[in-house]
Structure 1
Amino acid sequence: MNTLPPPRFQFRLRVYRDAGIAIGPGKIALLEAILQAGSITAGAKQMGMSYRRAWLLVDELNRSLSEPAVESATGGAHGGGTVVTEAGRELIRRYRSIEAKAHAAAADDIAAVTALLAS
């Protein structure tokens, strides 16, 4: 008997400004990785992306917000550092809250769609 893994439902909220994505799942995941790893470099590595790509995403996110989500300090005796600001932490919390609420609101429909899937 061939049993498939259980289905996984994922909400992918994106906030667009003009043609670009101001806030999306990749930028939130990158913020979380930076928060956990303590730097853009380490966060990018954790996510399997180049530093340049991560920096561009952070820059685009910061330019989209009224307050920066990430602040970087350069130089100094111990080198630079990266901090996810309180605005960045709030953005992560709110984004994840929206996902959780959407998932909870759709629970009955998710169950119905799951029942329609082959097992």
Structure 2
Amino acid sequence: MLTPNKHKLLFKLWLEYQGEPLIGKGGAEILETIKEVESISKAAKKAGMSYRYVWNYLAKLEKRLGEPVVKTFKGGSKGGG
């Protein structure tokens, strides 16, 4: 019999698009954080990622899907996050 102290049940979940992996745990977390804080810049900082990395990740998703993944607009007094 399996005992909780000696055995763990682990799994990975990801989203596929046209038979190829599209979004895994990290991607889902960054999208959820963007939704929560309503800012790519703040979400990147909260996740410990660079803004550029997150921006490029979103661009890659949008290119594969052929449509925007997040709604963007210029923010702040000078147009930044």
Work out whether the TM-score is over 0.5: yes
Q: Taking structure 2 as the reference length, what is the TM-score of the superposition?
A: 0.68
Question: Which residue is equivalent to 1:31?
Answer: 31
Q: Taking structure 1 as the reference length, what is the TM-score of the superposition?
A: 0.50
RMSD: 3.0
Q: Tell whether 2:8 aligns with 1:7.
A: yes
Query: Which structure ranks higher in relative contact order (CA pairs < 8 Å, sequence separation ≥ 6)?
Result: 1
1:45-86 alpha-carbon deviations (Å, 9 max, x no partner): 1111111111111111111224311121126757356xxxxx
Structure whose residues are more often helix by fraction? 1
Larger Rg: 1
Gaps of 5+ in 2: none
1:15-57 alpha-carbon deviations (Å, 9 max, x no partner): 2669x74322222111101001111111111111111111111
Question: Which residue is equivalent to 2:57?
Answer: 57
Distance 1:5 1:69 in 2: 41
Distance 2:79 2:6 in 1: 46
Distance 1:35 1:57 in 2: 15
What secondary structure sits across from 2:71 in the alignment?
A: strand
